[in-house]
Structure 1
Amino acid sequence: MRKTSQENLWKIWYREPAPIEPPTTNAWQNSPGWVRALPIGNGKLGAMIYGGIEEERIQLNEDSVWSGQPQEADNPDAPRYLPEVRRLLFEGKYVQAQQLATEKFVCLGAGSGHGNGANVPFGCYQMLADLRLRFEGHANARNYRRELDLTTGIVRVRYQVGNVTYTREHFASLKDEVIVVHLTSSKPGELIFEATLSRPERAETIAKKDYVLLSGELNGGLRFAARLVVLPQGGTIQTEGDTLRVRQATEVTLLLSAGTTYRTSNPPAYTTKVLSRARQQNYPRLREEHFRTYHNLFARVHLSLGGEEAAALPIDERLERVKRGEPDPHLCALYFQFARYLMICSSQPGSLPANLQGIWADGIQTPWNCDYHTDINVQMNYWIAETGALPECVEPLIEFIERLREPGRKTARVHYGLSGWVVHTVTNVWGFTSPGEHPGWGQFPAAAGWLCQHLWEHYAFTQDKKVLQRVYPIMKEAAEFYLRFLVPEPKHGWLVTAPSISPENSFRTADGQVVSVCYGPTMDMQILRELFTNCIEASRILDVDGEFRKQLEETRARLAPMQIGKHGQLQEWIEDFEENEPGHRHMSHLYGLHPGNQITPRGTPELAKAARVSLERRIAHGGGHTGWSRAWLVNFWARLGDGEKAHENLMALLKHSTLPNLFDNHPPFQIDGNFGGAAGIAEMLVQSHAGEIHLLPALPKSWRDGYVKGLGVRGRAQIDIFWQDGKATRAVLFSATAHTFRIRPPDGQRVVLVTRNGRRVPFQTNEDGTITLKTAKGWNAYNLIVQ
């Protein structure tokens, strides 16, 4: 391997800066500079580094900069109309049912503002500010390079002007809760620049001594502040208006802190407190503390797929080569690790969960409010967390779900007249749990059940009983709502949800009408069957709620089953309706295949075959045209064991739905595709959802030689896998507890030897080719030889 490619192996780099565009208030369109900027973050703070030469823009975010406020959106009249909506649905009068639901069964007020909620109570996530730097005499720069090093979490900009080399390093410290920018010149006294903070609206900026303070108040009353401290080594600082001027310095450290009244009553004072701690450390110490904390998370997983020589090229050139059909397996590995980087940066204990854009958003009115869509998007954000060995990053999601319980109880009580808790298609930091403003997309009451999957999965991966004791009451309360919400449909007596939707999709009735509101959509039934199953198992493990467990078992047995339709496809609705949009981006009825576990090629072959037909029909009609939808396809094909199809869709994701900085493109930018695509790569390498650890279940031919180390599997374990010529050679299972694992080698291969500390370990070979391995208590490494 050439030295240049080795040095660049885990770097996203460019030969030029990102173009700097004028400030914007509406960010519905991808701006050409922003999608070339490089992200940093620490969960609460985020920044996009443009790497400008004469002028630099560092676009800043703080995770709680939300307009809006809590609102009374639950509809107290809705329970009166629930029986009539159901009667119309059960009589096949879907159009009339949707009309009535539109008039009487939606939220009060403006709801989410149809995704434009900046100035309505729902609010939207917004940019914090811009940090602008202006440099004198840098017009004729050469030897420019801008890079994000995934191994350090540091963005570096370097160029030469004359015989002086200028370097800037940027990181968001996980340890010290500040954004750090360090500027140096190779010759003494050559740093001359201005620094200020600005925002398109609702803020004012002052500069005093060695700091700049930006503060303001959003629609709804949230107050915010960002404070920049300038610490030069040599030279002078002068203040002029809202700007600090640095002259004749050799080295300068910029520290930025931010806060809002979402967490603190006095944001300016909070920023002072944070910066007073951070500025006591010199730059090498800040950098080292950041690296130690970050590297402890990032370095848990290693992936090699070959083709590392491509790392010698900048990322934009590599993406263009892929679009031309040239192979770049290392780009798949880089994409995977970039997603893990984004997870570390956008979701940390104490932060809010990653939203539609993680933590990075430009402008004031962000796309779909940069909110939390609970009909796949926020869930997809976290698909990579457990398998990617980042369980700590799930904590913000768990806390967020916990906070939804109280408003969700109110929605259950007011809107449905039921106990338990519920949330629908969209939510925000203010606890919005009501249906959306139109039932065609907003009447998705199964969202709480889907969120609860992540609570159970966190336990399944960690095997921490304290986790289960914490999350089971949340799961139980959601199940209580569904137990009371379910009603028997008239044809078979199956228990169904009503009214509901198959997220954002629509169907054609027998007379050609196009509607979305229905009863018992397949996804709802899959989610509830899963939730009830997980609650049953949790109650057994915790030895509680025996009567409740029995009720769940009885109700589960009466849920509407999955059905195979006239095309051989898995039906999306309880009736075999024709889809109005056969290539729709949502493939909700395949939830049981992924992220669920109710459909598996070995366990339910007929349903797996039907799921495959559904996938083929979707793709034939243009499905997967959005970034996150294409990412979901990668996971589906991996679960079906088709490595070539999974790889084909992964390459389509890179070719058609990946922006120049590797951000996913819906369009516009949406981060779920990054996380979903990376989860798909992990699913191609190992799966553990079906009661066994399956090694290389969907390895494509193009990944001929490689290895992966440190992927998480259910049962509180991690796995390393090594392969050559498309065949596994060995695997290492790291187990933390006494556990019985069922392990499946790749098709056509077998496990011939297991050792621990150089000694043979007994295992049982089963008729289906799997082995049963019992592990001992404590962290132990089990080496599996595969032939």
Structure 2
Amino acid sequence: MNNHLLYDRPVPYQRFKSDSEEIWNEAAPIGNGNMGAMVFGGVQAEKLQLNEDTIWYGNGGRNRVNPEAKDNYLKIRRLLSDGMVSDAQKLASDTMMPIPDQQRNYSTAGEIFFEFHEDKEEFKNYIRCLDLNQAIVTMEYEIGGRQYQREYFASAVHQVIALHQESKDEEKVNGCLTLTFFRSNVEKIEKISEHILSMTVKEGANGCCYCVMAAIKNKGGTVEIHRDQIRVNEADSFTVYLSVRSDFYKEEPSGWCRKKLESVLKLPYEFVKSEHIKEYQSYFNRVQFSLGQDTEKAERPIPERLKAMQQGEQDLELIAAYYQFGRYLLISSSRPWSQPANLQGIWNRNEHPAWGSKYTININTEMNYWPAESCNLSECHLPLFGLIRRMLPFGQKVARDMYGLSGFVAHHNTDLFGDCAPQDTVMPSTIWPMGAAWLCTHIWKHYEYTLDQKFLRENIDLMKEASLFISEYLFENHEGKLITGPSISPENTYLHQSGQEGQLCIGPTMDTEIIRDLLEACIKGAEITGCEDELTNKLRAILPRLPELSVGKYGQLMEWAEDYEEMEPGHRHISHLYALYPSEQITYERTPELMEAARVTLERRLKNGGGHTGWSRAWIITMWARLRDGEKAGENIRDLLTKSTYPNLFDCHPPFQIDGNFGGTAGIAEMLLQCINGELTFLPALPKTWDCGHISGLKAKGAITVSFTWKDGEVISGSILAEKGGRCLFLKPDSITKIVSEQKVNITYEGQKAVCYGEGVYEIQLLA
């Protein structure tokens, strides 16, 4: 698989001015989980824009809960129940909105500048390549008949970002690194040794203190350090290493950086590079994916290929590369030792970015982790659970202070510090107490895919605390059903029968869907880990009293407890289809009438302009996949690439948000393999144009790994590896005539379904 993203020119950035969104999104991202950089690919002059995942504005520990909330949210509930929507929203605006209204925001570590050639001769034969197979950006160019090569990567092994410059013609090379330009919050710049320069920076609003440290390892030539510059002269080659660290971990950042740099300077560059590749490939190489090789297109620059797709050209291998790019981004921004991927992963150019580049947990953060399990990157999921753990005490306090209830609650955003109070003062989004509940369903998802009981035992308390809050927050409506409120259906507006426009409501469909998933997971988890208790019994009693999903007057799935008209029928959020994806509450096998209602809902949204943001389009792909409509899923993959993708393949909300990349990757996986209610289905939503291909290493629930090849839209061979034994059920493709296994595996058939059971690890082969 090629997996090379090619570009034929440098990014035309401006050295002394902030880059526009369009310019910045031509640069190539590299990252090792906690450190990231954007590579602009300049020839004579270059810059790296740096990030580290704990550099946030301000700090945590504030209590932003409105002190009037606890005494008023029940009044607001009664007003909503009585149809007095405007009065309820006015009271909520006064008494439930947070003080202050903003959580903390993610920031940037700044920019590092380089000069490589003093002369300004024209360059030619330029090519820049992000190699997804190795997580290395390579540049090649020619000046005055001399050929040069430069490489960039972010090493998780040695915790450095590396830049290596050399001449292919054994010419001498020069370089000058400038550590800072016009940064008002720089505290100190100091020479650490003959090859190391350090910069200490203080983030605003009493935020973190962090260090950016640079070192040069030269082969031949000389090195000088003056003020904020390191210069290398007449070298055969040289390598710049950068390390970035904040004091979030309660250690001295400069000492940490110095230790990393002094260690890596002792090693040959080729060894550092090879160790980086080996470690990265231990994640990336788990999945191989091809939709048929097209070598001619693979040698064309990415912007040219995207433009050709906009003009109607087919480029299946770009779709395959886009899938792998999503996996690359998750590996590069979320590792077991890092913070979770935020709204921009780790790649953020602004001190105060859009939406604070926080963790938006009414869809975006969850979408970031949709590909983690199915796309064989389960370890990349772990940072999310670390964040939920950090949120727990703050969420318990918010539950007490805001609602007078027990348990764990969070609203539609959180930050590095675990703030769980509402964010903003925006009626369509702020008062939504389901953030912790949705996040905690990811704990169960991780268990379903891995069957890791130790993990489940260590984290079931989070699910229990979120369930405890829900059990106390639910109240009985006039039909005897248990519903939530005040809440919203993110971030939509309805028209009440009285003519009032509203966002705040009681019993929105998405709340009930999330609660059903959470409570069922909590009960099953307690049974598996042997920690059933009074709460478990309470949850069992609640489940049958939750409202059933309903179909509205247009044949659509109802978004609210009442069949309201929508003020924005093409709204970007389609929250009530959570039950279709990522949940499995709506399926053809169990709820065919609701599947039809989901289709009507989706068609109505799209007919009225829905899917106009990148992440929304990505969610739509997964929904069409669940609806088993390969043509519609394929059309929306094309729309994602042609309407919502920047030249560097970053998702365009606009501006850049990484969730669309991750959702798109998850959607492609869902088109190829589905595991619904324990049943595997091959190629459930294959577009006709994807007539042949190969995928290996996809994951399914039950610690199962699946690989297969297809031709003319039919599976011709494959394998299913049950890594922890047990039962595996799959829908046998018509083209498969033989199912064999070397191990003692019991294989029975129930019509079109094959049921396999074996003790310990076993693998079965599918043959046409």
- The reply to whether TM is greater than 0.5 is yes
Determine which of 290, 296, 300 is the counterpart of 1:313.
Answer: 300
Does the CA-based 8 Å contact 2:67-2:95 persist in structure 1?
no
Cα distance in 1 for residues equivalent to 2:3 and 2:11: 20
Letter in 2 for 1:156: T
Cα distance in 2 for residues equivalent to 1:184 and 1:437: 50
Determine which of 225, 231, 234 is the counterpart of 2:211.
Answer: 225
How many residue pairs match? The answer is 760
Report the CA distance between 1:449 and its aligned residue. Answer: 1.1
Does the CA-based 8 Å contact 2:671-2:684 persist in structure 1?
yes
1:63 and 2:47 matched: no
Does the CA-based 8 Å contact 1:21-1:31 persist in structure 2?
no
Determine which of 199, 206, 215 is the counterpart of 1:214.
Answer: 199
Determine which of 430, 436, 439 is the counterpart of 2:423.
Answer: 436
SS across alignment from 1:36? coil
Cα distance in 1 for residues equivalent to 2:632 and 2:121: 49
Determine which of 175, 192, 197 is the counterpart of 2:174.
Answer: 192
User: What's 2:755 paired with?
Assistant: 772
Greater CA deviation, 182-191 or 204-213?
204-213
Report the CA distance between 1:204 and its aligned residue. Answer: 5.0
1:162 and 2:123 matched: no
User: What's 1:737 paired with?
Assistant: 724
Report the CA distance between 1:404 and its aligned residue. Answer: 0.6
Report the CA distance between 1:349 and its aligned residue. Answer: 1.0
SS across alignment from 1:270? helix
1:336 and 2:334 matched: no
Determine which of 27, 32, 38 is the counterpart of 1:37.
Answer: 27
1:17 and 2:7 matched: no
List alignment gaps of at least 5 residues for structure 1: 1-5, 113-121
1:104 and 2:85 matched: no
User: What's 1:303 paired with?
Assistant: 289
Shift in alpha-carbon separation, 1:247–1:389, aligned structure 2, 3 A: same
Cα distance in 1 for residues equivalent to 2:270 and 2:518: 49
Determine which of 570, 578, 588 is the counterpart of 1:601.
Answer: 588
Alignment of 1:440-589 (within 5 A): 440-490=428-478, 492-589=479-576
Does the CA-based 8 Å contact 2:739-2:767 persist in structure 1?
yes
Cα distance in 1 for residues equivalent to 2:601 and 2:184: 48
Letter in 2 for 1:215: T
Greater CA deviation, 100-109 or 454-463?
100-109
Does the CA-based 8 Å contact 1:198-1:205 persist in structure 2?
no
Cα distance in 2 for residues equivalent to 1:20 and 1:623: 33
Report the CA distance between 1:178 and its aligned residue. Answer: 0.6
Does the CA-based 8 Å contact 2:507-2:561 persist in structure 1?
yes
1:438-475 residue CA offsets vs partner (Å, 9 max, x unmatched): 24211111111110111001000000110110121110
User: What's 1:117 paired with?
Assistant: none
Does the CA-based 8 Å contact 1:500-1:519 persist in structure 2?
yes
Does the CA-based 8 Å contact 1:207-1:240 persist in structure 2?
no
1:653-673 residue CA offsets vs partner (Å, 9 max, x unmatched): 001000000000000000000
Cα distance in 2 for residues equivalent to 1:183 and 1:304: 33
| Percent identity between the two aligned chains | 40
Determine which of 225, 232, 254 is the counterpart of 1:246.
Answer: 232
Q: What is the TM-score with the length of structure 2 in the denominator?
A: 0.97
Letter in 2 for 1:586: H
Cα distance in 2 for residues equivalent to 1:123 and 1:531: 28
Shift in alpha-carbon separation, 1:239–1:737, aligned structure 2, 3 A: closer
Report the CA distance between 1:149 and its aligned residue. Answer: 0.4
User: What's 2:39 paired with?
Assistant: 49
SS across alignment from 2:765? strand
SS across alignment from 2:545? coil
1:720 and 2:707 matched: yes
Letter in 2 for 1:212: L
User: What's 2:252 paired with?
Assistant: 266
Report the CA distance between 1:22 and its aligned residue. Answer: 4.1
Cα distance in 2 for residues equivalent to 1:138 and 1:156: 21
Does the CA-based 8 Å contact 1:501-1:519 persist in structure 2?
yes
Letter in 1 for 2:708: I
Letter in 2 for 1:81: N
SS across alignment from 1:78? coil
SS across alignment from 1:88? helix
SS across alignment from 1:413? helix
1:622-679 residue CA offsets vs partner (Å, 9 max, x unmatched): 0000000000000000001111110011100001000000000000000000000000
1:151 and 2:133 matched: yes
Determine which of 101, 104, 124 is the counterpart of 1:142.
Answer: 124
SS across alignment from 1:442? coil
User: What's 2:627 paired with?
Assistant: 640
Does the CA-based 8 Å contact 1:228-1:255 persist in structure 2?
yes
Does the CA-based 8 Å contact 1:685-1:696 persist in structure 2?
yes
Does the CA-based 8 Å contact 1:33-1:50 persist in structure 2?
no
Cα distance in 1 for residues equivalent to 2:83 and 2:293: 56
Does the CA-based 8 Å contact 1:197-1:205 persist in structure 2?
no
Shift in alpha-carbon separation, 1:503–1:165, aligned structure 2, 3 A: same
Report the CA distance between 1:561 and its aligned residue. Answer: 1.7
Does the CA-based 8 Å contact 1:189-1:234 persist in structure 2?
no
Cα distance in 2 for residues equivalent to 1:32 and 1:213: 31
Cα distance in 2 for residues equivalent to 1:339 and 1:360: 14
Cα distance in 2 for residues equivalent to 1:307 and 1:513: 56
List alignment gaps of at least 5 residues for structure 2: none
Shift in alpha-carbon separation, 1:743–1:17, aligned structure 2, 3 A: same
Alignment of 1:422-433 (within 5 A): 422-433=409-420
Q: What is the TM-score with the length of structure 1 in the denominator?
A: 0.95
Report the CA distance between 1:123 and its aligned residue. Answer: 2.5
Aligned alpha-carbon RMSD (Å): 1.5
1:489-519 residue CA offsets vs partner (Å, 9 max, x unmatched): 22x1211111000011111112332211001
